[in-house]
A and B are shown apart, each in its own frame.
Chain A
Amino acid sequence: MADRMVFEDRNQFLEALRRLVREGLPGERIRVITPFGVPEAEEILSRGRSNVRFFALVGAASGTATGFAFTILTSLSWPLIVGGKPIVSIPPFIIIAFALTILFGALSTFAGFLLLSRLPSLRGIRSGEEVGNAFVILIEDGGRR
Protein backbone atom coordinates (compact mmCIF):
# COMPACT_ATOMS: atom_id res chain seq x y z
CA MET A 1 0.00 0.00 0.00
CA ALA A 2 1.61 3.20 -1.07
CA ASP A 3 1.47 6.27 1.11
CA ARG A 4 1.11 9.65 -0.47
CA MET A 5 1.83 13.15 0.84
CA VAL A 6 0.98 16.16 -1.22
CA PHE A 7 2.44 19.63 -0.63
CA GLU A 8 1.80 22.91 -2.35
CA ASP A 9 4.82 24.56 -0.83
CA ARG A 10 8.33 23.57 -1.71
CA ASN A 11 9.88 24.21 1.70
CA GLN A 12 7.25 22.14 3.50
CA PHE A 13 7.88 19.38 1.02
CA LEU A 14 11.62 19.47 1.66
CA GLU A 15 11.07 19.51 5.43
CA ALA A 16 8.85 16.44 5.26
CA LEU A 17 11.36 14.69 3.06
CA ARG A 18 14.18 15.42 5.48
CA ARG A 19 12.04 14.15 8.32
CA LEU A 20 11.30 10.90 6.55
CA VAL A 21 14.94 10.26 5.80
CA ARG A 22 15.90 11.11 9.38
CA GLU A 23 13.32 8.64 10.65
CA GLY A 24 15.22 5.98 8.84
CA LEU A 25 13.03 5.32 5.83
CA PRO A 26 15.24 3.77 3.16
CA GLY A 27 15.71 5.99 0.12
CA GLU A 28 14.70 3.30 -2.39
CA ARG A 29 11.14 3.34 -1.07
CA ILE A 30 10.71 7.09 -1.47
CA ARG A 31 9.64 8.54 -4.80
CA VAL A 32 8.90 12.19 -5.32
CA ILE A 33 7.05 13.99 -8.06
CA THR A 34 7.84 17.67 -8.59
CA PRO A 35 6.82 20.26 -11.21
CA PHE A 36 10.49 21.06 -11.82
CA GLY A 37 13.83 19.59 -10.79
CA VAL A 38 14.59 20.26 -7.11
CA PRO A 39 18.31 19.78 -6.44
CA GLU A 40 17.82 19.83 -2.64
CA ALA A 41 15.53 16.82 -2.88
CA GLU A 42 18.13 14.97 -4.88
CA GLU A 43 20.72 15.69 -2.21
CA ILE A 44 18.45 14.55 0.59
CA LEU A 45 17.67 11.32 -1.19
CA SER A 46 21.36 10.95 -2.10
CA ARG A 47 20.76 9.07 -5.30
CA GLY A 48 24.15 9.81 -6.80
CA ARG A 49 24.93 11.26 -10.18
CA SER A 50 22.97 10.16 -13.17
CA ASN A 51 24.52 7.50 -15.36
CA VAL A 52 23.47 9.27 -18.50
CA ARG A 53 26.95 10.67 -18.65
CA PHE A 54 28.41 7.29 -19.55
CA PHE A 55 26.15 7.13 -22.55
CA ALA A 56 27.46 10.53 -23.56
CA LEU A 57 31.07 9.44 -23.24
CA VAL A 58 30.60 6.20 -25.12
CA GLY A 59 28.58 7.92 -27.82
CA ALA A 60 31.13 10.68 -28.33
CA ALA A 61 34.06 8.26 -28.40
CA SER A 62 32.33 6.05 -30.92
CA GLY A 63 31.57 9.13 -33.00
CA THR A 64 35.22 10.10 -33.15
CA ALA A 65 36.27 6.57 -33.99
CA THR A 66 33.59 6.20 -36.64
CA GLY A 67 34.43 9.54 -38.16
CA PHE A 68 38.08 8.70 -38.66
CA ALA A 69 37.52 5.07 -39.56
CA PHE A 70 34.84 5.83 -42.10
CA THR A 71 36.75 8.59 -43.86
CA ILE A 72 40.10 6.83 -43.85
CA LEU A 73 38.81 3.44 -44.93
CA THR A 74 36.63 4.80 -47.72
CA SER A 75 39.49 6.95 -49.00
CA LEU A 76 41.74 3.93 -49.09
CA SER A 77 39.10 1.76 -50.68
CA TRP A 78 39.26 3.67 -53.96
CA PRO A 79 42.33 5.89 -53.78
CA LEU A 80 41.77 8.96 -55.93
CA ILE A 81 44.06 11.95 -55.72
CA VAL A 82 41.69 14.90 -55.50
CA GLY A 83 42.94 18.47 -55.44
CA GLY A 84 46.50 17.33 -54.90
CA LYS A 85 45.72 16.29 -51.37
CA PRO A 86 47.06 13.06 -49.87
CA ILE A 87 44.78 10.03 -49.98
CA VAL A 88 44.52 9.97 -46.21
CA SER A 89 44.33 13.71 -45.50
CA ILE A 90 43.81 14.16 -41.79
CA PRO A 91 42.82 17.88 -41.55
CA PRO A 92 39.51 17.49 -43.42
CA PHE A 93 38.86 14.17 -41.74
CA ILE A 94 39.11 15.90 -38.36
CA ILE A 95 36.07 17.97 -39.30
CA ILE A 96 34.00 14.91 -40.17
CA ALA A 97 35.11 13.14 -36.99
CA PHE A 98 34.25 16.23 -34.92
CA ALA A 99 30.75 16.40 -36.38
CA LEU A 100 30.11 12.72 -35.78
CA THR A 101 31.48 12.94 -32.23
CA ILE A 102 28.84 15.49 -31.41
CA LEU A 103 26.08 13.75 -33.33
CA PHE A 104 26.63 10.31 -31.81
CA GLY A 105 27.28 11.83 -28.39
CA ALA A 106 24.03 13.79 -28.40
CA LEU A 107 21.91 10.96 -29.77
CA SER A 108 23.35 8.40 -27.43
CA THR A 109 22.86 10.70 -24.43
CA PHE A 110 19.22 11.13 -25.44
CA ALA A 111 18.83 7.36 -25.84
CA GLY A 112 20.46 6.82 -22.46
CA PHE A 113 18.06 9.28 -20.87
CA LEU A 114 15.04 7.52 -22.37
CA LEU A 115 16.35 4.17 -21.24
CA LEU A 116 17.22 5.19 -17.69
CA SER A 117 14.04 7.20 -17.12
CA ARG A 118 11.94 4.40 -18.59
CA LEU A 119 10.36 6.76 -21.09
CA PRO A 120 8.12 6.66 -23.08
CA SER A 121 5.98 5.30 -20.29
CA LEU A 122 2.82 3.79 -21.68
CA ARG A 123 1.30 3.77 -18.25
CA GLY A 124 1.96 7.46 -17.93
CA ILE A 125 0.42 8.15 -21.31
CA ARG A 126 -2.68 6.11 -20.68
CA SER A 127 -3.34 6.76 -17.00
CA GLY A 128 -3.95 10.47 -17.39
CA GLU A 129 -3.44 11.15 -13.70
CA GLU A 130 -1.93 14.52 -12.96
CA VAL A 131 -0.49 16.09 -9.84
CA GLY A 132 -0.32 19.58 -11.31
CA ASN A 133 2.12 21.91 -9.63
CA ALA A 134 2.18 20.02 -6.35
CA PHE A 135 5.18 18.40 -4.73
CA VAL A 136 4.30 14.81 -3.95
CA ILE A 137 6.09 12.23 -1.80
CA LEU A 138 5.19 8.62 -2.49
CA ILE A 139 6.20 5.88 -0.10
CA GLU A 140 6.02 2.44 -1.60
CA ASP A 141 5.71 -1.16 -0.48
CA GLY A 142 3.91 -1.06 2.83
CA GLY A 143 5.77 1.84 4.27
CA ARG A 144 4.84 3.30 7.61
CA ARG A 145 4.49 7.00 8.32
Chain B
Amino acid sequence: MENAEKYAKVDRDILAAMEKPGRLYLAGLAVAAALTVIGGILWAYQIRSGLGVAGYTHPVNWAIYITNFVFWVGIAHSGTLISAVLFLFRARYRTSFNRAAEAMTVFALMVAGMFPLIHLGRSWVFYYLIPYPTQRQLWVNFRSPLIWDVFAVGTYFTVSVVFFYVGMLPDFAVARRLKEGIRKKIYTVLSLGWKGTDREWRHYGMLYLFLAAFATPLVASVHSVVSWDFAMSIVPGWHTTLFAPYFVAGAIFSGTAMVITLVIPLRKAMHLHEYITDDHFESIAKILLFTSLIVSYAYIVEFGMASYGENIFEMEAFRYRALGEFRYLTWAMIFCNSLVPLTLFAKRLRRNTAYLLVVSLLVNVGMWLERFVIIVTSLAHDFDPYVWGTYRPTYVEVGISLGSFGLFFMLYLLFVKNLPVLSITEIKEHL
Protein backbone atom coordinates (compact mmCIF):
# COMPACT_ATOMS: atom_id res chain seq x y z
CA MET B 1 0.00 0.00 0.00
CA GLU B 2 2.83 2.33 0.77
CA ASN B 3 4.12 2.39 -2.76
CA ALA B 4 0.81 3.40 -4.24
CA GLU B 5 0.68 6.40 -1.98
CA LYS B 6 4.21 7.35 -2.90
CA TYR B 7 3.39 7.16 -6.59
CA ALA B 8 0.26 9.22 -6.12
CA LYS B 9 2.26 11.81 -4.21
CA VAL B 10 4.77 12.10 -7.06
CA ASP B 11 1.91 12.58 -9.50
CA ARG B 12 0.31 15.23 -7.36
CA ASP B 13 3.49 17.12 -6.49
CA ILE B 14 4.68 17.46 -10.04
CA LEU B 15 1.30 18.20 -11.56
CA ALA B 16 0.67 20.76 -8.82
CA ALA B 17 3.27 22.91 -10.54
CA MET B 18 0.86 23.18 -13.43
CA GLU B 19 -1.88 24.86 -11.41
CA LYS B 20 -3.01 28.44 -11.51
CA PRO B 21 -0.14 30.88 -11.81
CA GLY B 22 0.80 33.32 -9.11
CA ARG B 23 1.58 37.01 -9.44
CA LEU B 24 5.34 36.57 -9.71
CA TYR B 25 4.88 34.14 -12.58
CA LEU B 26 2.53 36.47 -14.42
CA ALA B 27 4.88 39.39 -13.94
CA GLY B 28 7.79 37.35 -15.33
CA LEU B 29 5.68 36.21 -18.24
CA ALA B 30 4.63 39.78 -18.96
CA VAL B 31 8.23 41.00 -19.02
CA ALA B 32 9.31 38.16 -21.27
CA ALA B 33 6.38 38.72 -23.59
CA ALA B 34 7.06 42.43 -23.73
CA LEU B 35 10.69 41.84 -24.68
CA THR B 36 9.57 39.39 -27.35
CA VAL B 37 7.16 41.86 -28.83
CA ILE B 38 9.74 44.63 -28.85
CA GLY B 39 12.19 42.29 -30.55
CA GLY B 40 9.56 41.39 -33.12
CA ILE B 41 8.78 45.01 -33.86
CA LEU B 42 12.44 45.82 -34.29
CA TRP B 43 12.85 42.89 -36.64
CA ALA B 44 9.91 44.08 -38.70
CA TYR B 45 11.54 47.52 -38.78
CA GLN B 46 14.78 45.96 -39.95
CA ILE B 47 13.02 44.04 -42.73
CA ARG B 48 11.33 47.22 -43.86
CA SER B 49 14.36 49.51 -43.70
CA GLY B 50 17.12 47.10 -44.55
CA LEU B 51 20.15 45.72 -42.77
CA GLY B 52 21.67 49.18 -42.57
CA VAL B 53 19.85 49.82 -39.31
CA ALA B 54 22.01 47.14 -37.80
CA GLY B 55 25.60 47.95 -36.94
CA TYR B 56 27.16 45.94 -39.74
CA THR B 57 29.83 47.75 -41.61
CA HIS B 58 32.73 46.60 -43.66
CA PRO B 59 34.69 44.49 -42.61
CA VAL B 60 32.55 43.20 -39.75
CA ASN B 61 29.69 41.54 -41.58
CA TRP B 62 28.94 38.88 -39.01
CA ALA B 63 28.31 40.21 -35.54
CA ILE B 64 25.62 40.08 -32.88
CA TYR B 65 23.08 38.03 -34.82
CA ILE B 66 25.56 35.27 -35.51
CA THR B 67 26.80 35.52 -31.93
CA ASN B 68 23.25 34.92 -30.78
CA PHE B 69 22.82 32.04 -33.21
CA VAL B 70 25.93 30.25 -31.95
CA PHE B 71 25.03 31.10 -28.33
CA TRP B 72 21.54 29.61 -28.52
CA VAL B 73 22.62 26.53 -30.45
CA GLY B 74 25.28 26.02 -27.79
CA ILE B 75 22.74 26.30 -24.97
CA ALA B 76 20.69 23.58 -26.63
CA HIS B 77 23.49 21.05 -26.46
CA SER B 78 23.55 20.71 -22.72
CA GLY B 79 19.93 19.63 -22.71
CA THR B 80 20.70 16.73 -24.96
CA LEU B 81 23.77 15.90 -22.93
CA ILE B 82 21.73 15.63 -19.76
CA SER B 83 18.85 13.75 -21.25
CA ALA B 84 20.56 11.50 -23.79
CA VAL B 85 24.21 11.09 -22.79
CA LEU B 86 23.56 10.78 -19.06
CA PHE B 87 20.83 8.25 -19.89
CA LEU B 88 23.35 6.09 -21.71
CA PHE B 89 25.69 6.39 -18.72
CA ARG B 90 22.78 5.52 -16.41
CA ALA B 91 23.46 8.51 -14.19
CA ARG B 92 20.67 8.57 -11.64
CA TYR B 93 20.83 12.27 -10.92
CA ARG B 94 19.66 12.97 -14.41
CA THR B 95 15.97 12.49 -13.61
CA SER B 96 15.76 15.72 -11.70
CA PHE B 97 16.94 17.80 -14.64
CA ASN B 98 16.20 16.01 -17.85
CA ARG B 99 12.73 17.32 -18.62
CA ALA B 100 13.74 20.91 -17.95
CA ALA B 101 16.89 20.39 -19.97
CA GLU B 102 15.07 18.87 -22.96
CA ALA B 103 12.61 21.74 -22.97
CA MET B 104 15.54 24.13 -22.86
CA THR B 105 17.01 22.39 -25.90
CA VAL B 106 13.85 22.64 -27.97
CA PHE B 107 13.22 26.28 -27.13
CA ALA B 108 16.86 27.31 -27.56
CA LEU B 109 16.87 25.74 -31.02
CA MET B 110 13.68 27.55 -31.93
CA VAL B 111 15.25 30.84 -30.94
CA ALA B 112 18.58 29.98 -32.57
CA GLY B 113 16.91 29.08 -35.87
CA MET B 114 15.53 32.57 -36.18
CA PHE B 115 18.88 34.28 -36.17
CA PRO B 116 20.20 33.20 -39.56
CA LEU B 117 16.94 34.59 -40.94
CA ILE B 118 17.31 37.85 -39.04
CA HIS B 119 20.93 38.08 -40.09
CA LEU B 120 19.98 37.60 -43.75
CA GLY B 121 18.25 40.95 -43.84
CA ARG B 122 16.14 39.80 -46.76
CA SER B 123 14.74 37.04 -44.63
CA TRP B 124 12.33 35.90 -47.35
CA VAL B 125 15.15 34.44 -49.44
CA PHE B 126 16.02 31.91 -46.75
CA TYR B 127 14.60 29.23 -49.05
CA TYR B 128 17.81 29.47 -51.10
CA LEU B 129 19.33 27.29 -48.37
CA ILE B 130 16.86 24.47 -48.77
CA PRO B 131 17.74 21.75 -51.29
CA TYR B 132 14.62 21.41 -53.38
CA PRO B 133 14.37 20.74 -57.11
CA THR B 134 14.24 24.14 -58.83
CA GLN B 135 13.21 24.84 -62.35
CA ARG B 136 16.72 26.10 -63.02
CA GLN B 137 18.03 22.70 -61.92
CA LEU B 138 20.31 24.44 -59.47
CA TRP B 139 21.04 22.79 -56.17
CA VAL B 140 22.54 24.16 -52.99
CA ASN B 141 26.28 24.13 -52.49
CA PHE B 142 26.81 21.14 -50.25
CA ARG B 143 30.42 22.17 -49.79
CA SER B 144 29.40 25.22 -47.83
CA PRO B 145 29.39 25.14 -44.01
CA LEU B 146 26.18 27.16 -44.06
CA ILE B 147 24.38 24.28 -45.73
CA TRP B 148 25.92 21.87 -43.24
CA ASP B 149 24.30 24.08 -40.58
CA VAL B 150 20.92 23.67 -42.22
CA PHE B 151 21.21 19.90 -42.11
CA ALA B 152 22.86 19.65 -38.71
CA VAL B 153 20.66 22.13 -36.84
CA GLY B 154 17.56 20.92 -38.68
CA THR B 155 18.30 17.33 -37.76
CA TYR B 156 19.06 18.33 -34.20
CA PHE B 157 15.80 20.24 -33.86
CA THR B 158 13.71 17.41 -35.27
CA VAL B 159 15.36 14.73 -33.17
CA SER B 160 15.14 16.91 -30.04
CA VAL B 161 11.45 17.53 -30.53
CA VAL B 162 10.82 13.82 -31.04
CA PHE B 163 12.92 12.96 -27.99
CA PHE B 164 11.15 15.59 -25.87
CA TYR B 165 7.73 14.37 -26.94
CA VAL B 166 8.55 10.69 -26.52
CA GLY B 167 9.88 11.35 -23.03
CA MET B 168 6.62 12.99 -22.09
CA LEU B 169 4.33 10.37 -23.59
CA PRO B 170 3.73 8.36 -20.39
CA ASP B 171 3.51 11.58 -18.40
CA PHE B 172 0.73 12.82 -20.66
CA ALA B 173 -1.18 9.72 -19.62
CA VAL B 174 -0.76 10.73 -15.98
CA ALA B 175 -1.78 14.29 -16.74
CA ARG B 176 -4.90 13.28 -18.63
CA ARG B 177 -5.95 11.23 -15.62
CA LEU B 178 -5.56 14.02 -13.09
CA LYS B 179 -6.53 17.14 -15.00
CA GLU B 180 -9.94 18.41 -16.02
CA GLY B 181 -11.62 20.28 -18.79
CA ILE B 182 -10.00 21.37 -22.00
CA ARG B 183 -6.56 20.44 -20.68
CA LYS B 184 -7.73 16.89 -20.10
CA LYS B 185 -8.79 16.64 -23.73
CA ILE B 186 -5.50 18.03 -24.98
CA TYR B 187 -3.42 15.68 -22.84
CA THR B 188 -5.58 12.77 -23.93
CA VAL B 189 -4.85 13.45 -27.56
CA LEU B 190 -1.18 14.09 -26.88
CA SER B 191 -0.90 10.83 -24.98
CA LEU B 192 -2.03 8.98 -28.13
CA GLY B 193 -4.19 6.71 -26.00
CA TRP B 194 -1.22 5.35 -24.10
CA LYS B 195 -2.24 2.65 -21.67
CA GLY B 196 1.02 1.32 -20.30
CA THR B 197 0.68 -2.23 -21.57
CA ASP B 198 3.74 -4.44 -21.63
CA ARG B 199 3.84 -4.21 -25.42
CA GLU B 200 3.93 -0.44 -25.26
CA TRP B 201 6.62 -0.38 -22.57
CA ARG B 202 8.79 -2.89 -24.36
CA HIS B 203 8.85 -0.93 -27.59
CA TYR B 204 9.06 2.34 -25.70
CA GLY B 205 12.16 1.22 -23.84
CA MET B 206 13.94 0.36 -27.05
CA LEU B 207 12.75 3.56 -28.74
CA TYR B 208 14.08 5.68 -25.90
CA LEU B 209 17.40 3.86 -25.93
CA PHE B 210 17.80 4.34 -29.66
CA LEU B 211 16.76 7.99 -29.55
CA ALA B 212 19.32 8.56 -26.81
CA ALA B 213 21.91 6.72 -28.90
CA PHE B 214 21.05 8.80 -31.97
CA ALA B 215 20.98 12.08 -30.07
CA THR B 216 24.35 11.52 -28.41
CA PRO B 217 26.55 11.98 -31.50
CA LEU B 218 24.50 15.05 -32.27
CA VAL B 219 25.80 16.69 -29.12
CA ALA B 220 29.31 16.66 -30.55
CA SER B 221 28.56 16.96 -34.22
CA VAL B 222 26.09 19.84 -34.39
CA HIS B 223 28.22 22.35 -32.61
CA SER B 224 31.27 21.09 -34.49
CA VAL B 225 29.42 21.91 -37.69
CA VAL B 226 28.51 25.34 -36.34
CA SER B 227 32.14 25.94 -35.38
CA TRP B 228 33.14 25.02 -38.91
CA ASP B 229 31.22 28.05 -40.13
CA PHE B 230 34.27 29.85 -38.84
CA ALA B 231 37.04 27.28 -39.06
CA MET B 232 36.51 26.63 -42.78
CA SER B 233 37.46 30.18 -43.56
CA ILE B 234 41.09 31.29 -43.57
CA VAL B 235 40.54 34.30 -41.33
CA PRO B 236 43.18 34.44 -38.58
CA GLY B 237 41.66 33.56 -35.24
CA TRP B 238 39.02 31.48 -37.02
CA HIS B 239 41.00 29.00 -39.05
CA THR B 240 42.14 26.54 -36.45
CA THR B 241 41.68 22.80 -36.13
CA LEU B 242 40.77 23.13 -32.45
CA PHE B 243 37.43 24.82 -33.04
CA ALA B 244 35.27 21.71 -33.17
CA PRO B 245 36.00 20.26 -29.69
CA TYR B 246 36.47 23.76 -28.27
CA PHE B 247 33.01 24.86 -29.35
CA VAL B 248 31.41 21.62 -28.24
CA ALA B 249 32.92 21.94 -24.78
CA GLY B 250 31.87 25.59 -24.72
CA ALA B 251 28.35 24.65 -25.74
CA ILE B 252 27.99 22.12 -22.97
CA PHE B 253 29.52 24.64 -20.60
CA SER B 254 27.08 27.44 -21.43
CA GLY B 255 24.15 25.06 -21.64
CA THR B 256 24.86 23.59 -18.23
CA ALA B 257 25.05 27.10 -16.84
CA MET B 258 21.66 27.87 -18.38
CA VAL B 259 20.19 24.69 -16.88
CA ILE B 260 21.38 25.81 -13.47
CA THR B 261 20.00 29.32 -14.08
CA LEU B 262 16.62 27.86 -14.99
CA VAL B 263 16.30 25.05 -12.49
CA ILE B 264 17.33 26.81 -9.27
CA PRO B 265 14.45 29.32 -9.40
CA LEU B 266 12.17 26.60 -10.75
CA ARG B 267 12.84 24.39 -7.77
CA LYS B 268 12.21 27.22 -5.37
CA ALA B 269 9.03 28.46 -7.01
CA MET B 270 7.48 25.03 -7.35
CA HIS B 271 8.68 23.55 -4.05
CA LEU B 272 10.38 20.63 -5.71
CA HIS B 273 13.20 20.31 -3.16
CA GLU B 274 12.35 16.68 -2.62
CA TYR B 275 13.01 15.80 -6.22
CA ILE B 276 15.84 18.17 -7.11
CA THR B 277 18.35 17.94 -4.32
CA ASP B 278 21.64 19.66 -3.56
CA ASP B 279 23.38 16.41 -4.53
CA HIS B 280 21.96 16.79 -8.01
CA PHE B 281 23.24 20.32 -8.23
CA GLU B 282 26.66 19.25 -7.08
CA SER B 283 26.85 16.73 -9.93
CA ILE B 284 25.82 19.36 -12.43
CA ALA B 285 28.36 21.77 -10.96
CA LYS B 286 31.07 19.19 -11.62
CA ILE B 287 30.09 19.10 -15.29
CA LEU B 288 30.32 22.88 -15.30
CA LEU B 289 33.80 22.78 -13.79
CA PHE B 290 35.01 20.09 -16.16
CA THR B 291 33.87 21.89 -19.30
CA SER B 292 35.30 25.14 -17.96
CA LEU B 293 38.69 23.43 -17.76
CA ILE B 294 38.41 22.30 -21.37
CA VAL B 295 37.53 25.83 -22.48
CA SER B 296 40.49 27.21 -20.51
CA TYR B 297 42.75 24.65 -22.15
CA ALA B 298 41.52 25.85 -25.53
CA TYR B 299 42.22 29.48 -24.64
CA ILE B 300 45.77 28.61 -23.57
CA VAL B 301 46.45 26.54 -26.68
CA GLU B 302 45.03 29.18 -29.00
CA PHE B 303 47.04 32.01 -27.54
CA GLY B 304 50.05 29.71 -27.48
CA MET B 305 49.71 28.74 -31.12
CA ALA B 306 49.35 32.38 -32.10
CA SER B 307 52.63 33.27 -30.42
CA TYR B 308 54.35 30.09 -31.54
CA GLY B 309 54.85 30.16 -35.21
CA GLU B 310 55.74 32.46 -37.98
CA ASN B 311 52.18 33.43 -38.78
CA ILE B 312 52.17 37.17 -38.20
CA PHE B 313 48.47 37.42 -38.98
CA GLU B 314 47.57 34.99 -36.25
CA MET B 315 49.84 36.82 -33.81
CA GLU B 316 48.26 40.14 -34.61
CA ALA B 317 44.73 38.75 -34.37
CA PHE B 318 45.35 37.52 -30.84
CA ARG B 319 47.26 40.62 -29.81
CA TYR B 320 44.23 42.60 -30.89
CA ARG B 321 41.92 40.33 -28.93
CA ALA B 322 43.93 40.71 -25.76
CA LEU B 323 44.98 44.35 -26.02
CA GLY B 324 42.92 45.98 -28.74
CA GLU B 325 39.65 47.78 -28.80
CA PHE B 326 37.60 44.94 -27.38
CA ARG B 327 40.09 43.98 -24.67
CA TYR B 328 37.68 44.51 -21.81
CA LEU B 329 35.33 41.99 -23.34
CA THR B 330 38.17 39.51 -23.72
CA TRP B 331 39.27 39.93 -20.13
CA ALA B 332 35.68 39.66 -18.88
CA MET B 333 35.32 36.49 -20.92
CA ILE B 334 38.45 34.95 -19.39
CA PHE B 335 37.35 35.99 -15.91
CA CYS B 336 33.84 34.56 -16.25
CA ASN B 337 34.73 31.39 -18.12
CA SER B 338 38.11 30.34 -16.77
CA LEU B 339 38.64 31.95 -13.37
CA VAL B 340 35.27 32.02 -11.67
CA PRO B 341 34.45 28.34 -12.28
CA LEU B 342 37.74 27.33 -10.66
CA THR B 343 36.12 28.12 -7.34
CA LEU B 344 33.89 25.12 -7.92
CA PHE B 345 36.77 22.88 -6.91
CA ALA B 346 35.55 23.62 -3.39
CA LYS B 347 32.83 21.18 -2.41
CA ARG B 348 31.17 23.67 -0.13
CA LEU B 349 30.63 26.08 -3.00
CA ARG B 350 29.35 23.36 -5.30
CA ARG B 351 26.54 22.67 -2.88
CA ASN B 352 25.60 26.29 -2.35
CA THR B 353 22.79 26.95 -4.80
CA ALA B 354 22.84 30.71 -4.37
CA TYR B 355 26.51 30.74 -5.34
CA LEU B 356 25.85 28.36 -8.21
CA LEU B 357 23.19 30.70 -9.52
CA VAL B 358 25.64 33.61 -9.52
CA VAL B 359 28.33 31.51 -11.20
CA SER B 360 25.90 30.27 -13.84
CA LEU B 361 24.81 33.81 -14.68
CA LEU B 362 28.42 34.92 -15.01
CA VAL B 363 29.17 31.93 -17.22
CA ASN B 364 26.22 32.74 -19.47
CA VAL B 365 27.52 36.28 -19.87
CA GLY B 366 31.08 35.05 -20.37
CA MET B 367 30.13 32.54 -23.05
CA TRP B 368 28.07 35.09 -24.94
CA LEU B 369 31.05 37.41 -24.82
CA GLU B 370 33.32 34.62 -26.04
CA ARG B 371 31.29 34.14 -29.20
CA PHE B 372 31.17 37.89 -29.71
CA VAL B 373 34.92 38.27 -29.20
CA ILE B 374 35.77 35.42 -31.56
CA ILE B 375 33.50 36.66 -34.32
CA VAL B 376 33.95 40.40 -34.17
CA THR B 377 37.64 40.76 -33.34
CA SER B 378 38.74 38.34 -36.03
CA LEU B 379 36.65 40.09 -38.65
CA ALA B 380 37.59 43.56 -37.55
CA HIS B 381 41.30 42.86 -37.80
CA ASP B 382 42.16 40.32 -40.46
CA PHE B 383 44.93 40.25 -43.04
CA ASP B 384 45.15 43.66 -44.62
CA PRO B 385 45.53 46.68 -42.30
CA TYR B 386 43.90 48.89 -44.90
CA VAL B 387 40.56 47.20 -44.33
CA TRP B 388 40.70 47.02 -40.56
CA GLY B 389 37.54 48.39 -39.00
CA THR B 390 35.40 48.26 -35.93
CA TYR B 391 31.89 47.43 -34.85
CA ARG B 392 29.30 49.01 -32.64
CA PRO B 393 25.91 47.35 -32.19
CA THR B 394 22.84 49.50 -32.73
CA TYR B 395 19.66 49.60 -30.68
CA VAL B 396 18.00 47.37 -33.29
CA GLU B 397 20.51 44.58 -32.73
CA VAL B 398 20.45 44.94 -28.97
CA GLY B 399 16.66 45.01 -28.96
CA ILE B 400 16.40 41.91 -31.09
CA SER B 401 18.93 40.13 -28.87
CA LEU B 402 16.95 41.02 -25.77
CA GLY B 403 13.84 39.92 -27.63
CA SER B 404 15.41 36.52 -28.19
CA PHE B 405 16.00 36.13 -24.46
CA GLY B 406 12.43 37.25 -23.91
CA LEU B 407 11.15 34.66 -26.37
CA PHE B 408 13.15 31.89 -24.75
CA PHE B 409 12.00 32.71 -21.23
CA MET B 410 8.43 33.19 -22.38
CA LEU B 411 8.39 29.76 -24.00
CA TYR B 412 10.01 28.32 -20.90
CA LEU B 413 7.49 29.87 -18.53
CA LEU B 414 4.65 28.60 -20.69
CA PHE B 415 6.20 25.13 -20.62
CA VAL B 416 6.49 25.19 -16.83
CA LYS B 417 2.77 25.75 -16.39
CA ASN B 418 1.49 23.43 -19.11
CA LEU B 419 3.77 20.44 -19.25
CA PRO B 420 5.14 18.26 -16.45
CA VAL B 421 8.40 19.83 -15.45
CA LEU B 422 9.94 16.63 -14.11
CA SER B 423 9.78 13.17 -15.56
CA ILE B 424 7.01 11.67 -13.43
CA THR B 425 7.39 8.18 -14.80
CA GLU B 426 11.14 8.00 -14.35
CA ILE B 427 10.92 9.28 -10.79
CA LYS B 428 8.34 6.65 -9.92
CA GLU B 429 10.49 3.99 -11.52
CA HIS B 430 13.45 4.86 -9.32
CA LEU B 431 11.53 5.20 -6.07
Contact = CB atoms under 8 A, between A and B. Distances in A.
A10 B7 CA distance: 12
Contact of B198 (A8, A34, A53, A112): A34
A9 B159 contact: no
Contacts of A142: none
A113 B3 contact: no
Interface string A57-83: 000100000000011001101101011
A25 interface: no
B158 A133 contact: no
Interface string B190-220: 0111111111111111110011001101100
Contacts of B144: 82, 92
Contacts of A124: 191-195
Contact of A119 (B154, B200, B221): B200
B188 interface: yes
B143 interface: yes
Interface stretch (B133-141, B281-289, B403-411): B133-141
A81 to B, nearest CB: 10
A37 interface: yes
Nearest to B202: A50
B203 A36 contact: no
Contacts of B3: 8-10
B193 A120 contact: yes
Question: What is the predominant secondary structure among interface residues of chain A facing chain B?
Answer: helix
B8 interface: yes
B430 to A, nearest CB: 9
Interface string B49-85: 0000000000000000000000000000000000000
Contacts of A80: 141
Interface in B1-38: 1, 3-4, 7-8, 11
A106 B428 contact: no
B417 to A, nearest CB: 23
Interface in A69-124: 70-71, 74-75, 77-78, 80, 82-83, 85, 89, 92-93, 95-96, 98-100, 102-103, 105-107, 109-110, 112-114, 116-124
Nearest to A89: B143
Contacts of A47: 198-199, 202
B197 A95 contact: no
Contacts of B429: 36-37
B166 interface: yes
Given A92-B148, A110-B166, A122 B193 contact: yes
Given A42-B202, A47-B202, A52 B158 contact: no
B177 A56 contact: no
A35 interface: yes
A33 interface: yes
A14 interface: no
Contacts of A89: 143
Residue of B138, B163, B203, B214 ringed by the most chain A CB atoms within 10 A: B203
B265 interface: no
A99 B166 CA distance: 20
B366 to A, nearest CB: 29
Interface in B114-144: 131, 137-139, 141-144
B189 interface: yes
A41 interface: yes
B138 A82 contact: no
Interface in B137-176: 137-139, 141-144, 147-148, 151-152, 154-155, 158-159, 162-163, 166, 170
A37 B137 contact: no
A1 interface: no
B221 A98 contact: yes
A130 interface: yes
B202 to A, nearest CB: 5
A110 B3 CA distance: 32
A45 interface: yes
Q: Which of A33, A37, A118, A134 has the most CB of B within 10 A?
A: A37
B225 interface: yes
Contact of B137 (A52, A53, A78, A123): A78
B193 A125 contact: yes
Give the interface centre of A52, A60, A82, A99 by most chain B CB atoms within 10 Å. Answer: A99
A19 interface: no
B425 interface: yes
12 contacts: A36-B201, A36-B425, A37-B202, A47-B199, A82-B144, A89-B143, A93-B142, A110-B162, A116-B199, A117-B203, A123-B193, A131-B195
Given A8-B3, A99-B148, A133-B7, 7 more contacts: A47-B202, A82-B141, A92-B142, A102-B214, A102-B218, A106-B214, A121-B193
Interface of A: 8-10, 31-38, 41-42, 45, 47, 49-50, 52-53, 56, 60, 70-71, 74-75, 77-78, 80, 82-83, 85, 89, 92-93, 95-96, 98-100, 102-103, 105-107, 109-110, 112-114, 116-126, 128, 130-134
- Shortest Cβ-Cβ A-B pairs, 3 listed: A124-B193, A121-B193, A120-B192
